């Protein structure tokens, strides 16, 4: 049971932290809880489907299908997060500053939230389908009692969710003055970390070259299986032995999103006054 709990916790952590950050970052957009909850539910349904179908569509997971699936899901999430980031840099400060907003803002906010819904659903789908595959495999193999596995799985899920809530609660304590910059920086790091992970999948599938691999080895300083390492991996895409290409994509994602934010702030249609 404990084993199942730990595996599910590890798989859940990334998605849970992502949801915590996004929930904090969008707290000033009306109606966001509904969208976030729908995203989580959609992700769960998707993860369940992947796990149930995996046995039947094993061919789809054969070869490098799994890497392509993960890389596509991550790529989509990066695009949406990047867009969110750019949108928030144009409107987020206003949203946070004004208690009441014009209808236009709300409508734009809704469109924005649909992107958030997809990002969350994708994160839950990707992380959840692995947990589901693991539990489903053990259940169908009949190698452990159903109840202990399910209890373990549920505990792991709760643990992950609790960490997400903790992060959320912690972020809400950031003073308003720093809040926007803080959430913004975290989302940037999340997106860059996703880019690095996406690149790793593409290297693993032999679609991208690794360049120098590993570029460095910091596993003796901060191992990725230590508690802090796991957190840094989930939040900022930390990797103890990254391939050169991962570092390139990490930096490129940071630069492109930052450039987008800078650009809309400069040329935004009178968004500041």
Tracing tokens 């994708």 back to the chain, one arrives at 122
Torsion, Cα 110 31 116 175, to 10 degrees, reads 110
Sign of the CA dihedral with 68 first, then 74, 76, and 82 last:
negative
DSSP at 99: S
Residue number with CB closer to another protein (223 or 268):
223
The DSSP element (H or E) to which 75 belongs, if any, is helix 65-97
State the Cα–Cα distance between residues 251 and 147, nearest whole angstrom: 45
Q: Least separation, in Å, of the C-beta of 258 and another protein?
A: 27
Residues that bind another protein (CB under 8 A): 3, 7, 54-55, 58, 61-64, 66-67, 130, 133-134, 136-138, 140-141, 143, 200, 203-206, 213-214, 219, 223-225, 239-243
Residue number with CB closer to another protein (140 or 267):
140
Q: Least separation, in Å, of the C-beta of 188 and another protein?
A: 23
State the Cα–Cα distance between residues 145 and 9, nearest whole angstrom: 19
Q: Least separation, in Å, of the C-beta of 137 and another protein?
A: 3
Residue number with CB closer to another protein (144 or 264):
144
Q: Least separation, in Å, of the C-beta of 252 and another protein?
A: 19
Write out the two tokens for 82: 């990047």
Q: Least separation, in Å, of the C-beta of 72 and another protein?
A: 16
Residue number with CB closer to another protein (54 or 248):
54
């Amino acid at each position: 049971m404990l084993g199942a709990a730990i595996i599910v916790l590890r798989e859940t952590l990334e998605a849970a932290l992502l949801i915590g950050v996004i929930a904090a970052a969008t707290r000033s957009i009306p109606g966001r809880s509904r969208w976030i909850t729908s995203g989580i539910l959609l992700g769960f349904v998707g993860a369940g489907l992947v796990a149930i179908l995996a046995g039947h569509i094993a061919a789809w997971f054969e070869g490098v299908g799994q890497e392509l699936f993960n890389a596509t899901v991550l790529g989509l999430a990066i695009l949406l997060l990047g867009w969110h980031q750019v949108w928030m840099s144009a409107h987020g400060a206003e949203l946070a500053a004004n208690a009441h907003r014009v209808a236009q803002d709300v409508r734009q906010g809704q469109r924005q939230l649909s992107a958030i819904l997809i990002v969350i659903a994708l994160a839950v789908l990707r992380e959840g389908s692995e947990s589901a595959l693991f539990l489903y495999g053990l259940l169908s193999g009949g190698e452990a009692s159903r109840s202990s596995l399910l209890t373990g799985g549920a505990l792991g899920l709760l643990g992950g969710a609790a960490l997400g809530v903790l992060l959320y609660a912690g972020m809400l304590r950031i003073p308003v003055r720093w809040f926007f910059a803080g959430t913004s920086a975290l989302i940037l790091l999340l997106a860059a970390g996703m880019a690095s992970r996406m690149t790793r999948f593409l290297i693993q599938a032999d679609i991208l070259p690794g360049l120098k691999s590993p570029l460095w080895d910091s596993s003796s300083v901060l191992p990725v299986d230590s508690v802090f390492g796991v957190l840094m991996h989930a939040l900022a895409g930390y990797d103890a032995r990254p391939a050169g290409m991962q570092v390139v994509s990490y930096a490129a994602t940071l630069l492109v999103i930052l450039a987008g934010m800078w650009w809309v702030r400069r040329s935004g249609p009178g968004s500041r006054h």
